[in-house]
A and B are shown apart, each in its own frame.
Chain A
């Protein structure tokens, strides 16, 4: 059997015109995007301050570090690491609890259907954004300067960092609530507090617990590093071990952090599945 002859009179020729997915303008804009990306990467590669010798022996050094970490010094876990771990969990939980004292009022002010004064909305939103843009470690630095080193600074750093995140999500949940129950309550002569508690709260409750759990999970991760700037928790133990080059201990601490973070994620997904 031969292949089909190519040049045959073709009755379907009009149907065979070339179809293209993109218009020329689209194609050019796509190329431009790629060009910008490539240029950004090129600029970064050419001007970044990387010492070639460091890059060259990086794999060797990483391997060396891993070898030094093995085997982990399990004996070091109790009591030093264990207590620091408990402190870290306390910092994360207390930070999450405290953040609501600031986040709930700000969220109420930021939600356009609850607070109808526009300048106040904007102001609250600005506060939330400011809280989110400053990293938790930077908050920790500030609070270490205020409270001195220790867990107190960690709790406040976690709380202030969480306000922006929780407040934003909470205000979005508030804005999505239905107006009906509130109006019904108001018609029956309920006070503002009762209106919030019985008209709005039941509607945002699932979102509220979801946000709280989600943030707690993030806070467990974040509170593990706060000790690096002196704000208490397991980061302190980690920092000490690294500064003394006790790599087996570092491995123990890292494994402990890993276990707690994975456990926290598991707990959160379990509770979420049951709650929501």
Chain B
């Protein structure tokens, strides 16, 4: 790429071959074939799967909305989980984000808090949900707790990064008036990051809603449990109905959050 920008030493070749790239692509192709054999993915299997997929689709059509009350109940529970988890997650992320910002808190506090946030972020929410289900029992509480952890991982990290980018002049100015630490935060730090914080929160509310439709698969409440049960009973037409309902809900949430974001700008 950059070779074409430097003045040519000898004869200039239009579209010079990029050998490192070609070799890398070749290696990627070789890896793909090797990994396919390792995982037992063969062409026969794919073709067989295509046939099975056709059968599955045929059984999903038409979607069966007969048990709509069950569907609605699950969706509402998912919504409740999402709302609660977002609220608690946001409340917890505020102090954690402030503590994790390296320009406001000393390193011996920022370091451990950052580690906690990194662990929250690295563990997939379904794994966290399983642990909570085992620890505190089936139901919406476990799902809420799992999504709170996920929310902290996301909001607190981005919030801390946003705080690290603020201008310290205003902090100094407020501090010079003799303000206490809380007042410095309230009048010098938060006004600078508030709009971005709200953006993160909206995004997380959105993804909490997506994820809350899923944690039920491991027994943590919401529509996911209904979905998994329907799968296990081979009620594929009901599965299709649930999937359509989930997609509709997520679409709706995306439209609403898009509107809110546009209004905030």
Please determine whether chains A and B interact with each other in the same assembly: yes
Q: At the interface, yes or no: B92 with Cβ under 8 Å from chain A?
A: no
Q: Assuming A40-B83, A44-B83, is B32 touching A61 (CB within 8 A)?
A: no
Q: At the interface, yes or no: A23 with Cβ under 8 Å from chain B?
A: no
A146 touches B53 (CB 8 A): yes
Give B137-175 as 1s and 0s: 1 = Cβ < 8 Å from A's Cβ atoms: 101110011000000000000000000000000000000
Who on chain B is nearest to A194 by CB?
B15
Residues of A contacting B45 with CB < 8 Å? 147, 152
Bound CA span A137–B77, Å: 19
Residues of A contacting B221 with CB < 8 Å? 49
Bound CA span A198–B211, Å: 41
B141 touches A51 (CB 8 A): yes
Residues of B contacting A145 with CB < 8 Å? 52, 56, 231, 236
Give A74-97 as 1s and 0s: 1 = Cβ < 8 Å from B's Cβ atoms: 000000000000010011011001
Q: Assuming A45-B84, A228-B130, A242-B134, is B35 touching A133 (CB within 8 A)?
A: no
Q: At the interface, yes or no: B189 with Cβ under 8 Å from chain A?
A: no
A141 touches B231 (CB 8 A): yes
Q: Assuming A44-B80, A94-B36, A146-B56, is B243 touching A138 (CB within 8 A)?
A: yes
**Interface-located stretch among B63-71, B103-111, B118-126:** B118-126
Who on chain A is nearest to B137 by CB?
A54
Q: Which of A106-160 contact B (CB under 8 A)?
A: 129-130, 133-135, 137-138, 141-143, 145-147, 150-152, 155-156
Who on chain A is nearest to B81 by CB?
A48
B39 touches A54 (CB 8 A): no
B213, chain A: closest CB distance, angstroms: 7
Question: Which of B39, B80, B214 is close to A137, meaning CB atoms less than 8 Å apart?
Answer: B214
Q: Which of B49-89 contact A (CB under 8 A)?
A: 49, 52-53, 56, 76-77, 79-81, 83-84, 87
B106, chain A: closest CB distance, angstroms: 24
A269, chain B: closest CB distance, angstroms: 13
**Interface-located stretch among B94-102, B179-187, B246-254:** B246-254
Which applies to chain B's interface (DSSP): helix, strand, loop or mixed?
A: helix
**Interface-centre pick from B56, B135, B213 (highest chain A CB count, 10 A):** B135
Chain B interface extent, by class: 35 or more
Residues of B contacting A142 with CB < 8 Å? 56
Q: At the interface, yes or no: B116 with Cβ under 8 Å from chain A?
A: no
Q: At the interface, yes or no: A232 with Cβ under 8 Å from chain B?
A: yes
B197, chain A: closest CB distance, angstroms: 14
B214 touches A135 (CB 8 A): yes
Residues of A contacting B243 with CB < 8 Å? 134, 138
Who on chain A is nearest to B53 by CB?
A146
Bound CA span A49–B79, Å: 12
Bound CA span A224–B211, Å: 16
A-B contact pairs, 25 of them (CB 8 A): A40-B83, A41-B87, A43-B83, A44-B81, A48-B140, A49-B221, A50-B139, A51-B137, A54-B139, A58-B145, A87-B39, A90-B38, A94-B39, A133-B251, A135-B214, A137-B217, A138-B214, A146-B52, A147-B52, A150-B39, A155-B41, A224-B127, A238-B130, A258-B119, A262-B118
Other than the given A48-B81, A58-B145, A258-B123, 14 more pairs (CB < 8 A) read A41-B83, A43-B83, A48-B80, A51-B141, A57-B136, A61-B136, A134-B246, A134-B247, A146-B52, A146-B53, A150-B39, A152-B45, A254-B123, A257-B123
